Structure 1
Amino acid sequence: MSDVRQQTPATGANRMPQQPGYGTPTEDRWSGWVLFGSMMLIMLGCFQGIAGLVALFNKSYYLVASTGLVVHVDYTAWGWVHLIIGIVALVSGFGLFTGALWARVLGIAVAGISAIVNFAFIPAFPLWALTMIVVDFLVIYGIAAHGKEVGSST
């Protein structure tokens, strides 16, 4: 038996345009690191925001180690620094989903600044600060080493 449907060549209106996003994906296996980095950057922004809000609204929470800070400032200033880092990290984390170059640059910069700030924050809350430093380095590696793969596929 023959097929009732006729085979038509892929010309004219029934052909898919050859643009990025159609056909086979052009991402390779390393682009997962960038998506991991963007999700971790979003989580980093949320965690930094939480740490900043805790420092702003519950000043007695971090007062256990108030004399051992590397940079001696009050916790209101620490709260604002953490909150601003959190907001910038959220913006760059969502921007990384588009593969934008500005988001990659901003993500690496904010993760580096976050690592430095958390290094200075170690005496106030050691486990939290060390965890955030590890997350910062994973974000920097994911974005710096494999950021161009996602940017080239969009």
Structure 2
Amino acid sequence: MSETQQRPTASDEPYVPARRPEPTGWAGYVVFAGVMLMMLGGFQAIEGLVAIFRDEYYLVTRSGLLLTMDFTTWGWVHLVLGLIAVGTGIGVLLGQTWARVVGIIIAVFSALANLAFLPAYPIWSTIIIALDVLAIYALAVHGREVRY
């Protein structure tokens, strides 16, 4: 090298930011899971309010339930699960890692609560359990693709 030529320095090269891997089409499942958590949380909260204020609405009495708690207790369980699910769904849509973990946990508890509540409200409980399973799958398998 001659004295007139200088070595290129790192500052002479243009800055290229690191690229994030492009999300696959499966990332839509995570959006689905976030929306489902919000929607199921809302329905769960409504179901809880019905159980708290109008317990004669359900098909069976307290003795016909899998766990013999009164409907007011079941109402509070559904209401709390529903409100947490709505907040978690918002977190999932924002790409928060904690929301994925909490979303899976809440979906499992929601499915178990609806399994125990199945004799009182069979069709709706079955639908919620199926949607909870889909949300668990989406969050567990494809949740990493929507991190921001």
TM-score interval w.r.t. the shorter chain? 0.7 to 0.9
Match of 1:46 among 24, 29, 42: 42
Structure 1: which 4+ aligned runs deviate by more than 2 Å? Answer: 17-21
Does 2:126 align with 1:124?
A: no
Q: What 5-or-longer segments of structure 2 have no aligned partner? A: 1-13
Distance apart, 1:60 and its partner CA: 1.1
- 1:65 partner letter: V
Match of 2:92 among 93, 96, 110: 96
- 2:135 partner letter: V
Does 2:60 align with 1:65?
A: yes
Listed as ranges, the matches of 1:1-154 within 5 Å are 18=17, 26-62=22-58, 64-66=59-61, 67-151=63-147, 154=148
- 1:120 partner letter: A
- Describe the shift of the 1:27–1:78 C-alpha distance in structure 2 as closer, same or farther (beyond 3 A): same
Distance 2:97 2:84 in 1: 15
| Structure of higher CA gyration radius | 2
Helix, strand or coil at the partner of 2:64:
coil
Distance 2:31 2:123 in 1: 26
- 1:94 partner letter: I
Distance 1:44 1:65 in 2: 23
> Number of paired residues?
134
Distance 1:89 1:54 in 2: 18
Distance 2:87 2:104 in 1: 13
Overall identity of the aligned pairs, in %: 46
Deviations 1:114-151 (A, max 9, x none): 00000000100100110100010010001101000001
TM-score normalised by length of structure 2 = 0.84
Helix, strand or coil at the partner of 1:60:
helix
- 2:60 partner letter: A
TM-score normalised by length of structure 1 = 0.81
Q: What 5-or-longer segments of structure 1 have no aligned partner? A: 1-14
